[in-house]
Amino acid sequence: MCGLLGLVCAGENDAAKARSAVGKALHCQRHRGPDETDTWASGEVVYGFNRLSIIDVEHSHQPLTWGPPENPQRYTINFNGEIYNYLELRAELAADHGASFGTEGDTEAIVAAYHHLGPAAVGRLRGMFAFLIWDSERKVVFGARDPFGIKPLYYSQGPNGIAFSSEKKSLLELSDTLGVAQELDRTALQHYLVLQYVPEPESLHLGIRRIESGTSFTVSPGGKLVTERYFSPEFNTRAVNGPAEASALHTRIADVMKDSVAKHMRADVTVGAFLSGGIDSTAIAALAKEHNPDLITFTTGFDREGYSEIDVAAESAAAIGVKHVIRSVSADEMMEVLPLIVWYLDDPVADPSLVPLWFIAREARKHVKVVLSGEGSDELFGGYTIYREPLSLAPFEKIPGSVRKLIGKVSGRIPEGTRGKDLLRRGALSLEERYYGNARIFRDDQLRGVLRTFTEGVGHADVTGEWYRTSKNWDPVARMQHVDLFTWLRGDILVKADRVTMANSLELRVPFLDPEVFRVASDIPLDQKITKETTKYALRRALDGIVPAHVLNRRKLGFPVPVRVWLRDEMYDWARGIVNDSKTDELIDKQAVLRLLEEHKAGTLDHSRRIWALLVFMLWHGIFVEHRIKPEVPEPHYPVKL
């Protein structure tokens, strides 16, 4: 787990100057890898690397050069992530191809696999990764990002070359070197205010994009970037064939989760686990304890009833038999640290839960260097409550289209906040129209009054359309899962998980997001995912006996943060101050934002999520556009040497 930076020059370059520029740009992501920093340069390519040493700590330094006996300097790799099946892959490459290695780590396994298997090597990797491999013989860079988008990879291309980075800040630093003008992407801003995050491949800077999850690419000095999707997930749509097949499926799920957690425990440093009150993290912690009897778990929450899973998590920790660390977060702490977190994020993510996650990551780093977490379970196994919506809206599907349109018009005349209004509105829409992820912040009719640059025709279909087209023959729940894999998961869940843990130089691993786990999860029939009573039915049955009974069938809380009540009280003046100080008048109608805040304070309507999204954007704009807000970024420092 580290931070990489790579510059592929378009033509003749001053090698010393280019290396200096990369070294300077690398510094702003030093938190991703404070253990070692190094740069490397050839005539056409410059690499920079910040290492967080996890596997083969004394060796496996990067950038790493490897090659076959006839050309041992042929390849140089820059790699961020972990490959959990690296031991098996190294053994296979040695046995089948005679590959030899100079380290005990996973980095060499990637480059050796590429040499012997070509681009197909990415399909053999079980892990999280973003990497660049420079082939000095063919004069080409080959790279890839993991199937689910656990590890980030931004890029920026200009007349002087193309650069890749784990964090966007480094590419902003290289804008002059690349010859790229960085302007605000107003389409991406509109998407953000609808979705709560900036969807891939966009960023809020027009000159910076992202390599998408499950994608590999090649680029030569002075050439165009060529991408290819190597991972296209598919979900099964058949029904389960009797109790025996259901039981076998549950066994397969349990077995593959045990295997995934075992491989995710591979490290030469201490591994802990995040623990909430839900089934996902509890299962991970219970399975991890089998490999580390001294496992430490970490929980965060709030001292406000209905907004915390601290008590349930503590009960789970006691039932599993692990040491447990708790960190409560106050409104004052959230307000104080939010600008710094927005700096770490690179692009705004209006998910309040990332703030307490930042605090528990900071706490965990005092004890361990790696944590396991439960991200990805809901998308793979059908865990979100909204996945049950097709069941509740099924009666609308029997109504003629003309009548449904009339119902939609009627719902529009019902006052906001009236019970049943949203049910009628959503029932009048098709799945493609109504579902675009777990977060739905502004509707178009709401956004027109706030966003001065609102553009008709820009909407969620720009983001979800491709994924609905590729899943048109699937059942509605599988289609929702498919959309979430390419939107909500990689846009919100994994962004916040990566940024706030890496901000504290803590490696986060997600055993649910493993290719072998997906292979099993994608074969789960609809009736084994969603029932009228519960979600993740098959997973719950598979984990019976692994997860404590008080958690096994518990309703998903979803880690709520009390910003709804805080914005009416503790955070009210703070929020007004952010709005008034912001220089976003050209983009945002600030008076409209203040009206939202006043209505929310009065309790007329709940605008908390919309207000929070606007506040996070205004802070982002103050940092990255106005340069008015300058968070004090601490140098990486840890009380415990690990």
Active site residues: 2
Q: Quick check: 513 and 213 in contact, CB under 8 A? A: no
Select from 281, 277, 273, 322 the least CA-distant residue to 298.
273
Rounded Cα–Cα distance for residues 509 and 376 (Å): 11
Residue numbers in the known binding site for ATP are: 373-374
End-to-end CA distance of the chain: 14
Instruction: Kindly report the three-state secondary structure assignment for every residue of 541-579.
Output: HHCECCECHHHHCCCCCCCCCCHHHHCCCCCHHHHHHHH
Cα–Cα distance list, 347 to 29, 48, 332, 437, 623 (Å): 14, 22, 23, 19, 11
CA distances from 245 to 65, 241, 495, 534 (A): 49, 6, 37, 20
From CA 473, how far away is CA 63, in angstroms rounded?
45
Token reading at 639: 């009380």
Q: DSSP per residue over 28-48, as a string?
A: GGGGG-BSEEEEEE-SSEEEE
- Phi/psi-derived region of residue 118, left when phi > 0, alpha when psi is between -120 and 50, beta in every other case: left
What are the structure tokens assigned to 269, written together? 């440093």
Peptide bond into 233 cis (omega under 30): no
Q: How far apart are CA 198 and CA 188, in angstroms?
A: 6
Binding residues: 106, 373-374
